[in-house]
Amino acid sequence: MQGGSSGIGYGLKYQARCISDVKADKDHTSFLTGTLSLKEENEVHLLRLSSGGSELLCEGLFSHPNEIWDLASCPFDQRIFSTVFSTGDSFGAAVWQIPEPYGQSNSSTLECVASLDAHVGKINCVLWCPSGKSDKLISMDEQNFVLWSLDSSKKSAEVLSKESAGMRHSLSGGAWNPHDLNSVAATSESSIQFWDLRTMKKVNSIERAHVRNVDYNLKREHILVSADDESGIHIWDLRKAKVPVQELPGHTHWTWAVRCNPEYEELILSVGTDSAVNLWFASASSERKASESPVEASRLRVNPLLNSYTDYEDSVYGLAWSSREPWIFASLSYDGRVVIESVKPFLPRR
């Protein structure tokens, strides 16, 4: 199915690449996004969906000193988040705290909780432990990843361990396994690597060229989804990971990111440099559910694309499901356009 967009829009002043669901906010559907301006003072916007679901409101606007290349919200404190940033000459990473009180009338200054300064090369991302209670986080550059312990009350972060992936691998990102908190998947130019945080050693890998992004299925313990630059989307059962259990065509240009729905295990979102957001139905099981009619099952096997949201004029890089309302997602195109959409018409029958 092809469609435009009936979503709720919000425009940032500058270009942008990253958006994050504020998981720790249990009272509102909230997102954080940051800008990517080389010459101007950059901004972090705290956005909240109105109670009626008809407006996207800026609840806080904060100045950030550098271009923001990655942003991730802390899972246990809604005022804390991390950024990876560029100064123009080098990359850095830090954990920030939103000041109180705050509002959109003037740009407030963020409070730096800790600088993640154990890197020399280009930092790609920061991963928060998905348990929602842990103070652990990981920062990753092209050759190394570092495990940290954060103490926000003391405004400090301690390096617990550091390991190199080796010169043959250029790490680009990753995902922390929500089913096994000692396991992290890291993407590189030629593979998906699986690391054990207890030993800081690589324990397995999937040889795959140009993997751009990965995400774990929160409802299926052994399922990982990957986005490849040119060959689309692959769904892996990690118990038998020699070949993917399902392949999706992805996008007409590079597939940039994938996100599994936090509640509905069959729903996957993807974004790409073709200026589109795609919603997929992807069952990694060969068994048809009792509630699924033979006609519906046949149709989904033929065309797993449920909808394509095409109301964008630039590449779409940022993508986040709402953990509070899992039928809602936010997307972000490079020109700074945030769009909130509902997938309620496409929810699987329970």
C-alpha triplet 342, 348, 350: angle, nearest 5°: 120
**Alpha-carbon torsion (219, 222, 227, 232), positive or negative:** negative
Is 303 in contact with 281 (CB distance < 8 Å)?
no
Is 37 in contact with 14 (CB distance < 8 Å)?
yes
Instruction: Write the pLDDT tens digit of every residue in 3-51.
Output: 556 799 999 999 999 999 999 999 999 999 999 998 788 999 999 999 9
Among all chains, which residue has been given the structure tokens 């617990």? 160
Q: For residue 316, which of 33, 16, 11 has the smallest C-alpha distance?
A: 16
Cα separation values, 12 from 16, 34, 158, 267, 335, Å? 8, 9, 34, 28, 8
Banded pLDDT at 103 (limits 50, 70, 90):
low
What is the structure's pLDDT at 105? 54
Instruction: Write the pLDDT tens digit of every residue in 235-248.
Output: 999 999 889 999 99
What is the structure's pLDDT at 294? 45
Cα end-to-end distance, the chain, whole Å: 22
Is 44 in contact with 32 (CB distance < 8 Å)?
yes
**Which pTM was predicted?**
0.91
What is the structure's pLDDT at 289? 45
Q: For residue 1, which of 333, 313, 276, 293 has the smallest C-alpha distance?
A: 276
What is the structure's pLDDT at 158? 96
Tell me what the mean pLDDT of segment 52-68 comes to: 94
Q: For residue 346, which of 262, 274, 281, 273 has the smallest C-alpha distance?
A: 281
The secondary element (H helix, E strand) that includes residue 295 is: helix 294-302
Q: How many CA atoms within 13 Å lie on the side-chain side of 75? A: 15
Instruction: Specify the amino acid at residue 106.
Output: N
Please give the Cα distance from 147 to 127 (Å, whole number): 10
Burial class for 313, CB neighbours closer than 10 Å (0-12, 13-18, 19+): exposed
Please give the Cα distance from 336 to 137 (Å, whole number): 28
Q: For residue 165, which of 124, 128, 130 has the smallest C-alpha distance?
A: 124
Buried b (16+ CB within 10 A) or exposed e, 317-340: bbbbbbbbbbbbbbbbbbbbbbbb
Q: Locate 250 and state its tokens.
A: 């992805």
Instruction: Write the pLDDT tens digit of every residue in 249-298.
Output: 878 788 889 999 999 999 999 999 888 999 999 975 544 444 444 444 44
Cα separation values, 93 from 67, 83, 118, 120, 317, Å? 11, 6, 9, 11, 19
Burial class for 33, CB neighbours closer than 10 Å (0-12, 13-18, 19+): buried
Banded pLDDT at 167 (limits 50, 70, 90):
low
Buried b (16+ CB within 10 A) or exposed e, 257-287: bbbbbbebbbbbbbbbbbbbbbbbbbbbeee
Instruction: Write the pLDDT tens digit of every residue in 69-101.
Output: 999 999 999 999 999 999 888 899 999 999 987
